[in-house]
Amino acid sequence: MLDDIVISRAITEEYFREFLDSLESEVIIVGAGPAGLCAAYHLARSGLKVVVFERTLRPGGGVPGGGMMFNKIVVQEDSRPLLEDLGVGLKRYEANYYVASALELLGCLLVRSIKAGVRLFNCISVEDVLIYDKKVAGVVINWSAAQLAGLHVDPLTARSAFVVDATGHAAEVAEIVSRKSGGKLFTSTGKIIGEKPMWAEVGEKVLLDNTKEVYPHLYVCGMAANAVFGGPRMGPIFGGMLLSGQKVANLIINRLPKD
């Protein structure tokens, strides 16, 4: 026998048990694209409590679209160990170029991060931040559906020791902090510099340097890092996104015990 109400109660109770337990954490990651998911996986694997908020119904950001909806991605040699660790099959194309299934990468990122303990909430948008004593201390969240419908719904909050902006090209969290702090980001202008035109070689090269703290207790990774610090975009090569996620995780892991 199956009781419709037991099914509804199971979903509701389990969702809100996890949600309540996620209101305070060590790291909140905004955006479940390749950089955010890779960061979440490495942070959770090191034993930290990690919460990811993703605006859309389907996590993965730009991964499943591959290049122009051709669902393959390219990665370079230095990111190969990371993909192998995730369990993603790679096909050598020519020296320093490997091709992978975009969907397999997304599947592996999701499975590995959730099994490592990441709490991933889709359909929730970050619309603001908490700033206590000039440090980012968490995020302000709302149902994406409420935003899409234009409903006047007040948000809720989630607190964490660190926040990571992994929102991609728009660098939404850094943009909010820049606006609300009066341009106090750790960039040359204090504001978002803005991404430069496509150039895979340079974009991938500067990405790891740009992956860092951009305001006290706010880090940027992935395309958001190049957008904030003025690096070029790089299109459907994804090695840098994954390495950037891993780097931001290591920066936070090395810092947490001291704070």
Q: Give the nearer residue to ligand 48F in terms of CB position, either 13 or 209.
A: 209
Chosen residue from 27, 28, 29, 32 binding ligand 48F by CB under 6 A: 32
Strands, E assignment, 134-243? 135-143, 156-165, 212-215, 218-220
> What residues between 100 and 119 interact with ligand 48F by CB under 6 A?
none
CA distance 207 to 111: 26
Determine, following the binding rule CB under 6 A, whether residue 29 of this chain makes contact with ligand 48F. Answer: no
CA distance 193 to 237: 22
C-beta of residue 211 within 8 angstroms of C-beta of residue 174 = no
Chosen residue from 25, 34, 131, 219 binding ligand 48F by CB under 6 A: 34
Q: Give the nearer residue to ligand 48F in terms of CB position, either 181 or 222.
A: 222
As a three-state string, the secondary structure of 94-115 is: ECCEEEEEHHHHHHHHHHHHHH
Determine, following the binding rule CB under 6 A, whether residue 231 of this chain makes contact with ligand 48F. Answer: no
Sheet containing strand 97-101, edge to edge, reads 72-75, 97-101, 91-94
Determine, following the binding rule CB under 6 A, whether residue 138 of this chain makes contact with ligand 48F. Answer: no
**Among the candidate windows 10-18, 53-61, 92-100, 148-156, which touches ligand 48F by CB under 6 A?**
53-61
The DSSP letter of residue 217 is T
Q: How many residues does the chain have?
A: 259
**Among the candidate windows 8-16, 17-25, 56-64, 146-154, which touches ligand 48F by CB under 6 A?**
56-64
Determine, following the binding rule CB under 6 A, whether residue 223 of this chain makes contact with ligand 48F. Answer: yes
Determine, following the binding rule CB under 6 A, whether residue 232 of this chain makes contact with ligand 48F. Answer: no
Q: Which residues contact 232 (CB under 8 A, 6 or more apart)?
A: 195, 196, 197, 198, 199, 202, 203, 206, 226
Q: Give the nearer residue to ligand 48F in terms of CB position, either 48 or 241.
A: 241
Determine, following the binding rule CB under 6 A, whether residue 239 of this chain makes contact with ligand 48F. Answer: no
Determine, following the binding rule CB under 6 A, whether residue 79 of this chain makes contact with ligand 48F. Answer: no
> Can you say how many angstroms the Cα of residue 83 is from the centroid of all Cα atoms in its chain?
17
Chosen residue from 28, 42, 53, 113 binding ligand 48F by CB under 6 A: 53
Q: How far is the CB of 61 from ligand 48F (least distance, A)?
A: 2
Chosen residue from 25, 41, 42, 54 binding ligand 48F by CB under 6 A: 54
CA distance 58 to 53: 12
Residue that is written with structure tokens 């990774």 in the block: 221
Build a one-symbol-per-residue string for 155-184: x at contacts with ligand 48F by CB under 6 A, - elsewhere: -----------xxx---x------------
CA distance 34 to 240: 10
Q: Give the nearer residue to ligand 48F in terms of CB position, either 56 or 76.
A: 56
Residue that is written with structure tokens 């619309």 in the block: 127
Residues found near ligand 48F in the complex (CB under 6 A)? 30-36, 53-56, 61-62, 125-126, 166-168, 172, 222-224, 233-235, 237-238, 241
